[in-house]
Structure 1
Amino acid sequence: MLESRKIIITGAGSGIGKAIVKECLRHQASVIACDINEQSLNDLKKQLTNRNDALHTYQLDVSNYKEVSNFFEYIKANHSDVESLVNNAGIYLAKSILDYPVDEIDDVLDINVKGYIYFSQLFARLMFRQQREGVITNITSVSGMEGSSDAIYGSSKAAILGLTKSCAMNFSPLIRVNAVLPTMGFSN
């Protein structure tokens, strides 16, 4: 089902994003992997040398609108056939709301919410301009529904649930928008 698809994945250098990249490549998709950490992207490319023709990397800060805008100029010039976006970039600081300084509140909300908004907006503009169907998958968390001991993180993930529903309404029928809500795994 992913064969021959071209997919943008944010937060692709580690964790869930890295796993999504590997799975997409395993299913013969092409991936544009984005991350703020250039070294993580270089390591990813080295690990996946057998699929380097299908893996493209791009270093950027998802919370910086100018960088995201420049990225979509790159996409228009080099990957205009992209058809899917996985919004995954995020941070979790594991703090009580009582311990958050204002700059860290801003960091979490800028990355976990604004990054998704920026990518969704610019991806949708590209699809609408080209009158092509597309897919957006937002990686959020059960913390967005159930709450979290890190209230700022939980709030950011709740915002993504709302963003997903609103974008689905705004972008229908051209772009399908869904959310995936992972949880922390527990083992005995």
Structure 2
Amino acid sequence: MKKLIITGAANGIGRATVERAIQLGYFVIGADKDAEGLETLQSRYGADVFEAQSADFSEMATIKGFIPSLYERHATIYGLVNNAGIYHGKSVYAYSDEQIDEILNVNLKALVYLSKDFAEREMQHEAPRSIVNIASVAGEVGSCDALYGATKAAVIGLTKANAWNFAPFVRVNAVSPALIHDTAIYDTIPDYRRAEYARQEVLKDPILPSAVAEVILLLVGDALRHLTGRVIPVDNGAYPR
């Protein structure tokens, strides 16, 4: 049974990805600071297919120690989905210094450390491995939340660079969602911005976390084994490019 790490596992896209991965036969290591959400998943799926890891990726000690601690118990792990993220939906002027540090840690620094620590260990096996980062259309076309947009643009750059850094054994790709319904972020997006997303979509079926999860797991698995350094949009065609 292949093992897969999913951060931000307790809710939204992360939770949907956990559920889809287990359906596909993965053993999932789910990390989140939402202990209650993790407990719900653990109770539903059991220790045979799911391991809950309480982790707050706004803390540098957690970021730096997370992967090393996993490898004290797991000899090898097949894939990493860097999904944990923060979105405030507010002006750059409204950010405190603490909030700037927090969003940089969760949305970018965590990906830097988790990815390199994972790849460093798995490249030694000289076998196919996969990392999928969750970017955003905000990283491509901008965001009313400048810090969110900046970090997601950095995720895209990191994805492309690490595809080179970790080749030939660890593939690195990104999923770039647009307006995803039924998530915590959806409720914090300003109304005018939600309306703008909806206006530009050429497909009108609302995008749900489960749809993003399907794309993530395609990138993780062998079906797209020839793709690396790619950013795959899940946006109902809102931004043709």
TM-score (norm 1): 0.90
Match among 159, 170, 179 for residue 165 of structure 2: 170
* 2:16 paired with 1:12: no
Worse-superposed segment, 161-170 or 97-106: 97-106
Which of the pair has more CA radius of gyration?
2
Q: How does 1:1-188 map to 2 (within 5 A)?
A: 4-46=1-43, 48-49=44-45, 51-185=46-180, 186=198
* Structure 2 residue matching 1:107: 3-state secondary structure: helix
Question: Do the aligned partners of 1:127 and 1:134 also contact (CA within 8 Å) in 2?
Answer: yes
After TM superposition, give the deviation of residue 53 of structure 1 in Å: 1.0
After TM superposition, give the deviation of residue 69 of structure 1 in Å: 4.1
After TM superposition, give the deviation of residue 71 of structure 1 in Å: 2.9
After TM superposition, give the deviation of residue 130 of structure 1 in Å: 3.3
* Structure 1 residue matching 2:19: 3-state secondary structure: helix
* Aligned length, in residue pairs: 183
Question: Do the aligned partners of 1:65 and 1:118 also contact (CA within 8 Å) in 2?
Answer: no
Unmatched segments (≥5 aa) in structure 2:
181-197, 199-203, 207-241
Give the distance between the partners of 2:61 and 2:104, measured in 1 at CA.
17
Q: Deviations over 1:12-67 (max 9, x none)?
A: 01111011001101111110001122222112222x23x54111111112243432
Question: Do the aligned partners of 1:7 and 1:85 also contact (CA within 8 Å) in 2?
Answer: yes
**AA matched with 2:110:** G
TM-score (norm 2): 0.71
Unmatched segments (≥5 aa) in structure 1:
none
Worse-superposed segment, 62-71 or 158-167: 62-71
Give the distance between the partners of 1:179 and 1:161, measured in 2 at CA.
7
After TM superposition, give the deviation of residue 5 of structure 1 in Å: 2.1
- RMSD (CA atoms): 1.7
Give the distance between the partners of 1:100 and 1:65, measured in 2 at CA.
20
Change (3 A) 1:54 1:161: same
**AA matched with 1:11:** G
